[in-house]
A and B are shown apart, each in its own frame.
Chain A
Amino acid sequence: MGSIVLEQVTKSFGETQVIPPLDLTIEDGEFAVFVGPSGCGKSTLLRLIAGLEDTTSGRVLIDGADMTEVSPSKRGLSMVFQTYALYPHMTVRKNIAFPMRMAGMSEAEQEKRIMAAAESLNLTDYLDRKPGQLSGGQRQRVAIGRAIVRDPSAFLFDEPLSNLDAALRVGMRIEITEMHARMKTTMIYVTHDQVEAMTMADKIVVLQAGVIEQVGSPLDLYHTPRNLFVAGFIGSPKMNFIEGPEADQRGATTVGIRPEHIDVVEGPGEGIWSGTVGVAEHLGSDTFFHIHETGLAETMTVRAVGNVALRHGDAIHLRPREAEMHRFDAEGLRMS
């Protein structure tokens, strides 16, 4: 069991309010991802839930119980840190055993859980090594092992993969997602990487300057972003934004269209945009075009399926899919 509710939570450092009053509910068993640019307050929010930072006002409820004034050690949560934060003077076995030893669990039970965790995380051969003798990926596994053995009511992950190289990151991402599917424990995961957010989350919380911009499933956010910020933040490559006559014509201040919703067509014509290819990225499976001189936006990005044989300097003609167009008003809010 591990539902987490934030009620009118605020956080100030001195005079600066980094989190204005905020409400959020994370259901039991949910995989929630806090995503946003650096400095948006996502880590602070996680640390407020963990109890590592005190709230300035408001309440933090875990499983319905008010935990606002409870110390981190008594909240029943586990945390995995970006820097792993393993105990360098202890072996892997002792690192994993540490929270259980602190909880006064029997030696036999500790050993049983260490072996189970080590097996599921491929650490069996490394139990007697110290963290300094492990690679980054292995260290992160130990940190996860230390988090799972005590059966927390929720896991908190603070950018756990950002110190790993790209290949390892994808692998660990899948492992964590599988772990969640298996354990069905509430997880809160902080990242600045929207791909991680999209691939892992049941629920994404998009933050900017301490304010929740939108909460929803990955596809909700993709299909119906509530405002320009979310529209621009979710999706890769970024959504194209067009102002001026094209927007006016559709009754909006700004229209947005994702690169994958624009088709490359032959020749100019009615409702067709034309421009010049700046950079063409040929990936084989897809081709990404960065297009100039469209008269719509400085650079338009288009994703074409398969290989399209256009190069730098070539003329290109585009037809947007009208149904996939997003319309925003003068405040940047979505128009239905």
Chain B
Amino acid sequence: MAIVAQSTRRGRISRATFAWIVGLLFFFPIFWMVLTSFKTDADAVKPEHLFFFTPTLENYLNMTENYDYWRFAQNSIITAVFATIFALAVGIPCAYAMAFNPARGTKDILMWMLSTKMLPAAAVLYPMTFLTKSLGLFDTKFLIIVVLMLINLPIVIWMLFTYFKEIPKEIIEAGQMDGVNTWGEVREILIPLAWGGIVSTALLCFIFCWNEAYWTVRLTTTDAATLSKLIEGNRAPEGLFFGRLSAVSTAAVGPIVVLGWFCQKQLVQGLTFGAVK
């Protein structure tokens, strides 16, 4: 007994150590970024000032004064919120139909949706740019909302589909027998029963929208530019403005990290749902 207890204890310690190492490995770049954001651009590139330096708020003041951080942040919030709302508005009915009234091609449609995520974005860069410019949609929030919604729709539908599949079909049928129409089924039965899953899906979608950088950088210039664009704009190949870049990046990821921190439980539950029934 003692040997077993000892070995499981040792196993637990080594597993915990391993988890900490991996965790720190992931955390270090973020920590470094936050640290650098409080350094002057000169200090930022000097190895001797890696941990010991005189902290300054100069980068942050500079950012709000010269780059209009709030406008970018506002665009990020607006596009991410509306893209998430629209993705759910399309995704919920879609996943509902596929979960409760599957047809012969339902599985194929699901796979096809997922396959769109496998297309390299760069492959459609030219047609997208050309199309949006000729439609007069280039650099509009509307376009960014539509694009963010579309690129996240497959994952939103997949997640919702998985949650909805967990709801017994009889409950939906009981609703039909009790005299509810389709909208009533969704509002009275489906949404309340899948609420946890819907919230997790919305959170994840919001985070993906917020972090999206490929299209938001390429399809905007000023009016619809998001925080990703702000970071991109502060990138200098010579690496001279590391302090400034770090401050911008910290300010861009800050809100989402805080949101993620508060919704940890929902997110973990959402991502592992179905895997461990």
Q: Which of B89-113 contact A (CB under 8 A)?
A: none
Judge whether A72 and B176 touch: CB under 8 Å. Answer: yes
B192 adjacent to chain A (CB < 8 Å) = yes
For the side of the interface on A, what is the size category?
20 to 34
A50 to B179, CA, bound (A): 12
Which residue of B171, B181, B184 is within 8 Å of A85 (Cβ)? Answer: B171
Partner-binding segment picked from A96-104, A192-200, A202-210, A226-234? A96-104
B180 adjacent to chain A (CB < 8 Å) = yes
A88 adjacent to chain B (CB < 8 Å) = yes
Chain A residues with Cβ under 8 A from B174's Cβ? 79, 81, 85-87, 146
A150 to B184, CA, bound (A): 18
Q: How many residue pairs bridge A and B at CB < 8 Å?
A: 60
User: A82-B170, A87-B189, A99-B178 given. 15 additional CB < 8 A pairs?
Assistant: A52-B177, A72-B173, A72-B176, A73-B176, A73-B177, A73-B180, A74-B179, A77-B177, A81-B170, A83-B170, A87-B174, A87-B175, A88-B193, A99-B179, A102-B184
Judge whether A102 and B193 touch: CB under 8 Å. Answer: no
A55 adjacent to chain B (CB < 8 Å) = no
Known: A79-B174, A83-B168. A89 touches B193 (CB 8 A): yes
Interface string of B11-43 (1 = CB under 8 A from A): 000000000000000000000000000000000
Judge whether B179 and A150 touch: CB under 8 Å. Answer: yes
A74 to B174, CA, bound (A): 13
Which residue of A73, A88, A89 is within 8 Å of B179 (Cβ)? Answer: A73
Q: Which of B177-209 contact A (CB under 8 A)?
A: 177-181, 184, 188-189, 192-193
Known: A87-B189, A88-B193. A73 touches B181 (CB 8 A): yes
Judge whether A85 and B179 touch: CB under 8 Å. Answer: no
A54 to B193, CA, bound (A): 27
19 contacts across the A-B interface (CB closer than 8 A): A52-B173, A52-B177, A71-B181, A72-B176, A73-B176, A73-B177, A77-B177, A79-B177, A81-B174, A83-B168, A85-B168, A85-B173, A85-B174, A87-B171, A87-B174, A89-B192, A98-B178, A102-B180, A150-B179
A78 adjacent to chain B (CB < 8 Å) = yes
* Chain B residue at minimal CB-CB distance from A99: B178
Chain B residues with Cβ under 8 A from A85's Cβ? 168, 170-171, 173-174
- CB of A6, distance to nearest CB on chain B (Å): 18
Give the dominant DSSP class at B's interface: helix
A53 to B217, CA, bound (A): 50
A156 to B171, CA, bound (A): 15
Chain B residues with Cβ under 8 A from A82's Cβ? 170
* Chain A residue at minimal CB-CB distance from B189: A87
* Chain B residue at minimal CB-CB distance from A82: B170
Q: Which of B144-180 contact A (CB under 8 A)?
A: 168, 170-171, 173-180
Chain B residues with Cβ under 8 A from A52's Cβ? 173, 176-177
Q: Which of A45-91 contact B (CB under 8 A)?
A: 50-52, 71-74, 77-79, 81-83, 85-89
A102 to B176, CA, bound (A): 10
- CB of B188, distance to nearest CB on chain A (Å): 8
